[in-house]
Amino acid sequence: MIVILSCSVSVPVFAADRTQWFKEAKFGMFVHWGTYSQMGIEASWPLFQNLVPVWEYEALARTFNPVKFNADELVRMAVDAGMKYLIFTSKHHDGFAMFDTEFSDYSIMNTPYGKDIVQQVVDACHKAGIRVGFYFSLCDWHHPSYRDTSKPFPAGCKAEEYPEKTWDDFLVFMRGQLRELCTKYGKIDVIWFDGGWERTAEQWQSEEIDAMIRSLQPGILINNRHLLDEIADFGTPEQFVPVGKQKKLWESCMTINNTWAYNPRDHRHKSAKELVQNLSRTAGGGGNLLLNVGPKPDGTIQEEFSSRLDGIGTWMEQHSESIYGTSPAPVSLFREGVSTVRENSVYLHFLHGPDSPVNVTGLRTPVESAVVLGTGSRISIGREETSLTISVPYEDRNPCVTVVKLALSGEPEFDPIIKPDKTGIIVLPAWKADIWSGDISYVLRHRLISYSYSEDALIDWNNDADWAEWTCEIPQDGEYSVSIKYEGGISSLMLQVGNNEIALPVPSTNNVTAYRGQVFKTVHLSSGVQKVKVRSGETGEHISFGLREISFDFVP
Ligand code: JFZ
């Protein structure tokens, strides 16, 4: 008699290992698709907003039959755009399962289509060799143990509106579906939670489900929307690219127009240029871009989306080395854009221009050559003591983002220290600032200090938890006059140099477009390398204030 002992021992996969592919991939496809595509409305939210009666929304399951859906074509579109992974809505807030689940009749299996779409998507991703993950909404507005369905939306969704007695039943249901998603489809690389805001992590038992998922799928990544930021593998800023330095991996999710689902009335499509700029900005910030498509009711992708994905793919054919496997440059190297680093190369992504000779500072390692990606043109490099000057011929500019590859003589070394200029003044410009912020809230736009190229200023001073920071060299002990160039105004700006902090009154200028210099009282500075930090002196909106530069001038 042969006894076969089977035991699954899940080997812990440490964060640094399991996130490596994600950090290198940089770019993925988000897919929001369900019965709602038949009405051309947003996923789930029309229910909550009482725009569509529940009976009418849920009746969509009776007609959903995407006969033209071809998972391989969808995945090919993603691969051709340069996307390395795909996140698919297995279940949105409406509770409709796009997979064959034994725990609910409200699923794709009970539609005229009657086939497991999640299975098809996973198979196509595995066949194409890209990673695959499931968007899964914790909140389930269909399930009678989650929501008091006797109440009209938006009532009935909150914990306090529903008796505790059914909550355990719902958790059994929710965990059952998660277990199905983690055991029926082979290797899964991401669980992209959403919909956590109507309960707490304790009520969701997020720690338990996080552990269950990791035991069933060793190496899987889980985002922060089960409300456990500290154990999440990545943060999820939504519809924006954070500008500050982040404390953990992050992935910006974004739509091409403004709707996650298929919406033929939403014509606010971002151009391919804007989408590529967002890709460069996410890579330049050390994050990923998850760009969304919402398939039509027949399963195909609308032309406005496919044409833009083609445009991104064309750019990626010539520029992917400046995206995949790169890290963000630790120092702002030039004013016109962002920089990525890979091996002994630095890539300058021009989000604006380049119109005139470009000044590159903060790079210690000698540059051997400068080449424009795509055209292959070698461009001349002007070298000065602590900076480089490059000029990109107009004909070499890319219609989306021009990237100049600097080939270095060795390992990239950066110099964050701003030195006094030829006149001895220490000038700290907006574009050289490091922007620091609190943890980005995954959904609501946590207004950060951001750098606005058009004003060439630091704007959005709306949260005193954010600050701008420079590292500079103070040549000698003594008194220095502090000057700032700014527009608009703010009642007080806190300036910290080393360990001393002073409040700078910044009277409002009479015109937020012009800017003016303001010389303040002097401060005593000690010689050596100093960190200069600036933050709003109070909370509240200061959308009128734009800081262009701070400078220190020695007073003999
Ligand atoms: C969430 C979903 O609601 C949305 O449909 C989409 O799936 C997106 C990726 O994730 O977006 C949210 C969630 C919560 C809020 C706003 C957008 N909220 O609480 O304001």
**Over the stretch 317-334, which tens digit does the pLDDT of each residue have?**
999 999 999 999 999 999
Res 453 pLDDT > 80: no
Mean local confidence (pLDDT), 211-216 = 98
Neighbours of 542 (CB within 10 A): 23
Q: Ligand 1 centre from 260 Cα, in Å? A: 9
Amino acid at the residue 150: S
Q: Ligand 1 centre from 238 Cα, in Å? A: 8
CA angle (419 as vertex; 414, 424 as ends), nearest 5: 165
Question: Which of 112-126, 227-241, 296-310, 389-403 has the least mean pLDDT?
Answer: 227-241
Amino acid at the residue 344: N
Amino acid at the residue 80: D
Res 6 pLDDT > 60: no
In angstroms, the CA 102 to CA 511 distance is: 64
**95 Cβ contact list (under 8 Å, min separation 6):** 104, 106, 137, 140, 141, 142, 143, 146
Q: Which two tokens stand for residue 119?
A: 């299975």
Q: Is the CB of 43 under 6 A from ligand 1?
A: yes
In angstroms, the CA 196 to CA 187 distance is: 25
Q: Report the run of H or E that residue 459 belongs to, with start and end.
A: strand 457-459
Decide: helix, strand or coil at residue 147. Answer: coil
In angstroms, the CA 460 to CA 402 distance is: 27
Question: Which residue of 47, 139, 194 sits with most ligand 1 atoms within 8 Å of its CB, as the best mutation to test the pocket?
Answer: 194
Mean local confidence (pLDDT), 11-28 = 88
Q: Is the CB of 251 under 6 A from ligand 1?
A: no
In angstroms, the CA 429 to CA 436 distance is: 16
Q: Among residues 35, 182, 180, 34, which one has the least CA distance to residue 103?
A: 180
**516 Cβ contact list (under 8 Å, min separation 6):** 485, 486, 487, 509
- Asked if residue 355 lies in contact with residue 396, where contact means CB atoms within 8 angstroms, the answer is no
Res 373 pLDDT > 90: yes
- Asked if residue 400 lies in contact with residue 337, where contact means CB atoms within 8 angstroms, the answer is no
- Asked if residue 142 lies in contact with residue 131, where contact means CB atoms within 8 angstroms, the answer is no
In angstroms, the CA 326 to CA 308 distance is: 24
For helices 303-319 and 71-81, the axis angle rounded to 10 degrees is: 40
Q: Which two tokens stand for residue 73?
A: 């074509």
The residue that leads in pLDDT, 467 or 81, is 81
Q: Is the CB of 194 under 6 A from ligand 1?
A: yes
Res 521 pLDDT > 80: no
pTM: 0.93
Ligand 1, atom nearest to 238 Cα:
9
Res 448 pLDDT > 90: no
Query: Which pLDDT band holds residue 243 (cuts at 50, 70, 90)?
Result: confident
Q: Among residues 268, 264, 320, 327, which one has the least CA distance to residue 297?
A: 264
Q: Which two tokens stand for residue 246?
A: 């982040």
Q: What is the pLDDT of residue 405?
A: 98
Q: Ligand 1 centre from 443 Cα, in Å? A: 7
Q: Which value, to the nearest 10 degrees, does the dihedral of the CA atoms of residues 17, 19, 20, 26 take?
A: 180
Contacts 24+ apart (CB under 8 A), 317-321: 318/373, 318/374, 318/398, 319/373, 319/374, 319/398, 319/401, 319/403, 320/82, 321/345, 321/347, 321/373, 321/405
Q: What is the pLDDT of residue 16?
A: 73
The residue that leads in pLDDT, 443 or 102, is 102
Q: Which residues of 142-162 are buried (b: 16+ CB within 10 A; e: fewer)?
A: bbebbbeeeeebeeebeeeeb
Q: Is the CB of 253 under 6 A from ligand 1?
A: yes
Q: Is the CB of 443 under 6 A from ligand 1?
A: yes
Query: Which pLDDT band holds residue 245 (cuts at 50, 70, 90)?
Result: confident
Q: Among residues 326, 324, 360, which one has the least CA distance to residue 340?
A: 326
In angstroms, the CA 20 to CA 325 distance is: 9
Q: What is the pLDDT of residue 440?
A: 55
In angstroms, the CA 34 to CA 46 distance is: 13
Ligand 1, atom 17: closest residue by C-alpha: 443
Q: Is the CB of 433 under 6 A from ligand 1?
A: no
Phi first, then psi, for residue 307 (nearest 5°) are -70, -35
Res 24 pLDDT > 60: yes
Q: Mean pLDDT, the chain, as a whole number?
A: 91
Q: Is the CB of 48 under 6 A from ligand 1?
A: no
Q: Is the CB of 231 under 6 A from ligand 1?
A: no
The residue that leads in pLDDT, 383 or 518, is 383
Neighbours of 110 (CB within 10 A): 15
In angstroms, the CA 394 to CA 456 distance is: 22
Q: Which two tokens stand for residue 455?
A: 């004003």
- Asked if residue 106 lies in contact with residue 58, where contact means CB atoms within 8 angstroms, the answer is yes
Counting beta carbons within 10 angstroms of the beta carbon of residue 404, is it exposed (0 to 12), middle (13 to 18) or buried (19 or more)? buried
Percent pLDDT > 70 in the chain is 92
In angstroms, the CA 336 to CA 141 distance is: 46
Percent pLDDT > 90 in the chain is 75
Ligand 1, atom nearest to 92 Cα:
7
The residue that leads in pLDDT, 125 or 229, is 125
Mean local confidence (pLDDT), 428-457 = 70
Q: Among residues 237, 318, 239, 334, which one has the least CA distance to residue 284?
A: 334
Ligand 1, atom nearest to 43 Cα:
5
Q: What is the pLDDT of residue 8?
A: 45
Ligand 1, atom nearest to 45 Cα:
5
Ligand 1, atom nearest to 93 Cα:
3
